[in-house]
Structure 1
Amino acid sequence: MTQLNINVDFEELASAIFESNLNTAMKSIAVSVLNAYMEMERDQYVNADFKQKNPKRIAQRNGYYERDFMMPVGKIHLKVPRTRDGEFTTDVFEQYTRSDQSLILAMMEAYINGVSTRNITKIVEALSGESVSKSTISEVMKNIDPDIQEWASRPITNHQYKYVFVDAMYIKVKENNKIVSKGVYTAMGINELRQREIIGFKISNQESEKAWSEFFEDLRMRGLTTPELIISDAHSGLIKSIKSQFIDSSWQRCTFHFLKNIVERFPKKNSEDAKLLLKSIFKAPTYQHALQLKEELITKYQNNPKYSEALNILDQGFEDAAQFYRFPAQHHKSLRTTNSIENINMQVRKREKVIKTFPNLDSAFRLIGAVLMDIQENFDSSKRPFIT
C-alpha cells in the first residue's frame, strides 16, 4: 500500500480504542483479521507457504480447532491453526490478554479511520510493544474484503423501500500512475418499518447518466422494487437515469439545493425580504399553502428585472421540489432534502480526508465499505424510526 505522511495522536487514538464498543459488523471483521493473523503466525512457524516445497520446512499444517475468545467487542468464534507436531502455538490469546486486546482493536480502528499502513504499524508497536511489519498489516487488513464485498452485494429483497435517497461524492484515486477523480454513489432506503438502510454503494469514473443507470440496475438486480419517491439533487445525468430506470416513481428535488440555486440569482443587496419569503415556501404545511407563497413571491418581484432569472428557476422547478407534499405531513421534514444521505457522506468524508488519495480502487472500496457497514450497524441498533 502506498505510504502516506500522516501525523497521528497515539494517546488520543489509544483512548478511543480502549473505549470502543464495536458492533456486529466490526466483530465479523475482528474474526477475519484474527484468523488471518494466526494463519500468518503458522506460516512463519512452518517456514513455508501453503503447499510450497521448501527444504527448510520444519513442520506440516494440520487443520484447525475452534475456540471462543472474549474481547471488549464481545465473544467471537475463531479457527485456531494446528501443526502435526503439535508444537505450534499462537501468541494471539496471550498477547491480546496481556495488552487488553489493543493490537487488534488498534489495527481495525486505525484502518476504519483511514490511517495508512505505516501508521497502523506504529500504533501497533506503540500499544503492544511488538514489532509488526508493514507487509503483515497489509495482508491481514485485506481479509476484511470478503465481509465488505458480501455486504455490498447482499440481496435487498427482505424489505420494501417506499422512499429512496441517492447522492454522490468524489474521491481521488491513483490509477495508471496519475491521480484521477472517482464518484462514490450511495443509496439509502426507508423500509416498511420506517428504518434507514444503506442499500448500495458504487465507485465509478464519473457522475453521468450511464454510471447512475448501472448503479440503479445493480440495485434492481439485488431486489429493489419501484419506490414511490426518489430524493436527490438535480444533476442532469441523475435525473435522466431516475426517469428511465424508475418510470413509476416520483422524483423529489432537494429543496435545500433548489433554494440555494435560486438565492444565488437574487440581487446581492436588499434581497433579505425575498429570501425570507422564498424559504417559507417549502416549510408551508400543505401544497396549496406552498403554491400561494410561490405565487406571492413571483407577483411581488416579477416587475424587477434583477429577479427574473431567479423567479424563472422557481417557477420551472417548483413541482419537482414539492413532490413531498403527496405524502404524510409527518414525513415532510425528512423527505424534502437530501440531508440524511449527505450526513452519511460526511461521515465517509471524515475518514477519507485523512488518506486524501487512495492508492487504488480496492483500498477505496475497503475503507468506504467498512465505514458504511459501521453506519448501518448504528442504524440497526437504534430503536427510533427515521420517520414517524
Structure 2
Amino acid sequence: MLLAALEAEVEDYIDKYKHERGEDGRRKVVRNGKARARSLTTAVGTIEVAAPRVNDKRVVDGQRQKFTSHILPPYMRKSPKVAEVLPLLYLRGLSTNDFRPALESLLGDKASGLSATAITRLTAKWEAEHKAWKQRDLSERDYVYVWADGIHLNIRLEEDRLCLLVIIGVRPDGTKELLAVDDGYRESKDSWASVLRSLRARGMRAPVVAVGDGALGFWAAVRDVWPETKEQRCWFHKLGNVLDKLPKRLQPKAKKMLREIMYADTKEDASAGFEAFEAEFSPKHQRAVDCLVKDRGKLLTLFELPAEHWKHMRTTNVIESAFATVRLRQRVTKGAGSRTKGIAMAFKLLDMAERRWRKLDGRMLLPLVRAGVKFVDGIQQQREEEAA
C-alpha cells in the first residue's frame, strides 16, 4: 500500500509537468529509478522501502526544482503513528527500560529510534510547550463556567507532594478547554490568586460561575480576582465531608437524604431537604449539620442556571475523570522524578485527553447564561414585555 501510494504520488507529479520541455524537446520532469532501500518502522512492523525518484530539471527564479515526497519525507525512519506511541506509552506508565522489548515484539527487532533517551528529549520538549502554553493570549476567548481543583501527586525524588492547581473552562459553544495546570505546593489563597491573576492578565474575562470543592484558598482568590463570579460548591466533596462526621450506622440514611437534596427539582425542595437533614441530625451530630449548612447558598447556585447544565455543575468530576490517566501513571511508575517533569507530564496527558472531551449538554443555552438571562429552577424566565 505504501509503495503504491509513492508510485501514485510520483506519477501525479510527473503528469503535472509533462508539458514542460527543454530546447531539445525532451521532458524536464522524468522518473529516475529508485532510491537506496531504507528501513521504515510502521505500526505493523519494520519494512524495507525503495522509494521512486524523480529527475526535475526545471529552474524557477534561479532555483533548481526538486521533487520531495509528502508521504515519505527524506530521512524519515518511523511513521508519525509510531512517533506518537512513544509519549503515549511513557505517559500511560510504561518504564523507559521496557520500551525496546515491548515495541520490538510488535514492530520487529529492527525497530529504530525507540530508545529511552528519546523520552529525555520529549520531556524537555513538553516542559517548553507547557511554558509557552502558560503565556498564550486569552483575550479572544470567553469561558462561561470554570471548574477548579487541587490534585496531589507523588514526586519520586522529593519528600513534598506536588499539588497541581487545575482549571478547566467551557466556551459558549460547549467546548471544554484546559486553562491552567500549575504548581501550587499547597492550595493556599496566594497560590490560587497567582493562577487566576495570570489568566486575567492574559485577557480572560471573569466566568459566570466557578465550581470547586470547599478549599478556602480558591474561593478567597476568586472573590479577590473575579468578584462578580458566582460560586457553586462541589456536591461530591461536600457529601464526603458530611458523611465523614457521622457514625457508619447513620451514613446510609444520611447519604440518601443528601442525594435527595442534590438531585432536587426545585430550590424549594432542596431547601426543605436541608431543614429535614438538620432536624434529623442536629440533636446528636451538630458537626455534620454545620458542615452542610455553612455552604447552603453556594450549593444551590445551580438552580439559577439551565436545568440541562445541572449535572455538569454539581461536581468537579470534569477534572477528576481527566486525571484518571495521570493517577494511573503515578501508581505504575511511583511518581515523576521532579516537580517540573511531573507538571509537564500532567499537562501533556491532559492536553491529549482534551481532544476527547465531550461538549456540554444544552450548549445552546450557554450564550444566554453569559448574557445574564434569568433562570429559576432551571427554567428560562420571560421578560415582562414578552410575557404580556
TM-score under structure 1 length normalisation: 0.68
Q: Quick one: which amino acid aligns to residue 111 of structure 1?
A: Y
User: Within 5 Å, which residues of 2 pair with 1:85-96?
Assistant: 90=75, 92=76, 95-96=77-78
Paired AA for residue 262 in structure 2: F
Matches for 1:1-388 after TM superposition, within 5 Å: 18=43, 69-70=70-71, 90=75, 92=76, 95-96=77-78, 103-123=82-102, 125-126=104-105, 127-130=107-110, 134-135=116-117, 137-139=119-121, 142-173=124-155, 178-270=158-250, 272-302=252-282, 305-379=283-357, 384-388=359-363
Shift of the 251–67 alpha-carbon distance from structure 1 to 2, 3 Å rule, reads: farther
Compared with structure 1, are the counterparts of its residues 292 and 165 closer, same or farther at alpha carbon in structure 2 (3 Å cutoff)? same
- Distance of 2:340 and 2:264 partners within structure 1: 46
Do the aligned residues in 2 keep the contact of 1:107 with 1:124 (CA within 8 Å)?
A: no
Q: How many residues align?
A: 298
Q: CA deviation at 1:252?
A: 1.0
C-alpha change, 1:69 and 1:113, in structure 2 (3 Å) is farther
Give the percent of matched residue pairs that are identical in Structure 1 and Structure 2. 21
The DSSP-based 3-state class of the residue aligned with 2:137 is: coil
For 1:334 and 1:136, locate their aligned partners in 2 and report how far apart those are by CA, in whole Å. Answer: 39
Structure 1 Cα separation of the partners of residues 302 and 81 of structure 2: 48
Distance in 2, matches of 1:375 and 1:102, equals 17
Q: What is the SS of the residue equivalent to 2:191?
A: helix
CA shift, 1:189, in A, is 0.6
Aligned equivalents of 1:180, 1:249: Cα separation in 2: 33
Structure 2: segments with no counterpart, 5+ residues: 1-41, 45-65, 364-388
The list of structure 1 runs, each at least 4 consecutive aligned residues, that deviate by more than 6 angstroms after superposition, is none
Corresponding letter in the other structure for 1:112: L
> Greater share of helix residues, 1 or 2?
1
Give how far 1:232 is off.
0.4
CA contact (8 A) 1:229 1:249 kept: yes
Coordinate RMSD, CA, aligned: 2.9
Q: Deviation per CA, 1:274-301: give whole Å up to 9, x if none.
A: 4322221121111111111211232344
| Deviation for aligned residue 1:309 | 2.0
Larger Rg: 2
Does the aligned pair in 2 maintain the 1:195–1:387 contact within 8 Å? no
CA distance in 1, matches of 2:81, 2:230: 49
Contact 1:174 1:180 in 2 (8 A): no
**In the alignment, residue 339 of structure 1 is paired with which amino acid?**
N
Instruction: State how far apart, in whole Å, the 2-side matches of 1:283 and 1:146 are.
Output: 44
CA–CA distance in structure 2, aligned partners of residues 214 and 267 of structure 1? 39
In 1, the alpha carbon distance for the partners of 2:303 and 2:119 equals: 52
